[in-house]
Structure 1
Amino acid sequence: MNLNQILEPIQDELSAFEARFKEVLSGESSFIWEISQHLLENHGKRLRPACVLLVSRAFGEKSERGIETAVALELIHTATLLHDDVIDQSPTRRGEMTVSYKWSNLVSVLMGDYLFAKAFRTLVGIGSPSIMKTVSSATERVSIGQLNEIKESKNFALAEGDYLKIISDKTASLFAAACESGCILHQSDQKQIAGFKIYGQNFGMVFQIVDDLLDIIGNQEKTGKEVGTDLREGKVTLPLIYSLQQEAPTKRKNILKYLENGYSNSSFEKVVSFIQEKGGTVYSHKKASEFGQKALESIQFLPDSIYNKSLKDLVAFALKRDK
């Protein structure tokens, strides 16, 4: 099942989200409008808004507050990508020029700041202190995760637990906030709110681990990103962590030579072969599947509905995606 089919039950809400997101993003200046058009033409899967809207509809009718919450989460996510592209010095994202490459690092940073401001202004308008607390805490965690990822760059002794903490903060926290917020819109039952937070957290872990797998064994034409980009930038991810742990210390230095000093396309292929030989890709997918199972278990309390089914199907999609 493809993503469009999974999200069919909320297509009306997603259309309303897109219209409102475009309106909020456009801003008051012609320059902001120009940058916004570039962002709108090159957007991602809208999974965070989808999580808000699916969870919200699982408990109630379509609501303006649900759309506004989805917009706020996507503004924050987009802002983090603008800052990410500066940090990583990325010329492209999804096969198109990044804002930092098309204009400048300064423009990308300031546009990101603008989107953060827009997001929190949108959240204030929702009028829910609980959602404001949830989303602001998640945004803080994203920054912590990004800082720790930078700190651990090229730390090839990084433990699996430390990697999982980084991606939990950097990626999973916003998915958790999206699902938790969608539930808060209609529910005060703390057990159910906690269940959806756990779902979002584990779904985010699946998403990021698979993303890290695609950096090693993905197809550039599908991902829009050169294979090995993260490894070349010094990001130490689960497939590599596991593979290095399987290698004898005396032999590990051979592969570390490539990793520490930078490498060509041919030496990158040796790194990929090493990871596959040591079972790094298989182990990582198994780990992602475990997080996926935890996500499914956390929403077992939900009655059967088209929205519940879509939430379950999203987990399968995240595990099998190739872009």
Structure 2
Amino acid sequence: MEKKKIDFAEFLNSINKCYSKNCQDKLPKPKDFPFQLFDHEQNILIEELNSFRQNLTDSYLKSVCYRISAVISIQKARENDKKLDIIETWNLVSKSIEIVPKECVISSIGSQGFLSIPLYKYELEKKNFDFLRLHIWDESLKAYIDEEKCEKFSIHTHSFFAESWPICGKIVNDRYSAKITESPNDHSLFTVQYNKTLNEVNQHTSNAVNSGEDVNLRQISHEIYMPGSHYQINAGNFHKSISKGDNGISATFFSFTAKNGLVDQSFVIGKSEIQSSEINRKMYIDPTPLMNKITKEITSYAG
């Protein structure tokens, strides 16, 4: 996937918004990227970008350059159906995080109990929505979550087509069929309602609210994914993903994109006797120890 200079301002904005508000004024602008980084058709040249990055002393500009290379790598793998170079992409992402102050990193616990770090978010047009994140599961994160609540609302859908590339550990992905029934049942559809006053990337509160529609729930697959593999989830399909990694840690690069499918509403499944449940996603967690752990895991399997 090539990035044309005429689109670069919005592409850069979609990366910059995934850094915290604390450092927005320090992040690079389009003018900070010289014209030599673009070819005659105005596509960004990755090799030239990498060379440009090596000589930089501005840690914020350097971080964003690492992030640009990583994002394009994931997008190319996704859109050309090619294998993602996990080790190289991990090195780019981890360096983009490590070289800026901790307060610049958005790192929060998601509704499913994993740590979520946004990498890129384009949302100007819903039909071209594109959101890339780093997801990390670890035993240490259980101290920050309500495990019972996570389990009760673990089965869910996404509004957008989703794709995941495991970085380390082992991900178990279970898929489900959920058919609406007129007779009472143990499970109901819940809608997720967000607090619009906190509409920032990965930082908001939400409520799972019972829709009043009960469902017949049936598991239809049990899948195990390791580094080097990847899996996809169609928009509107029910699933849950959990970590079964050695040493308690697993991580993936995760993509949401409207280009391969979208639906108007996402749902979670919950017990029918529950009317609503608040999910808090605002908490910041320093990702440094977990990222060091991931690097150690990658080093061990890469030899």
TM-score normalised to the size of structure 2?
A: 0.29
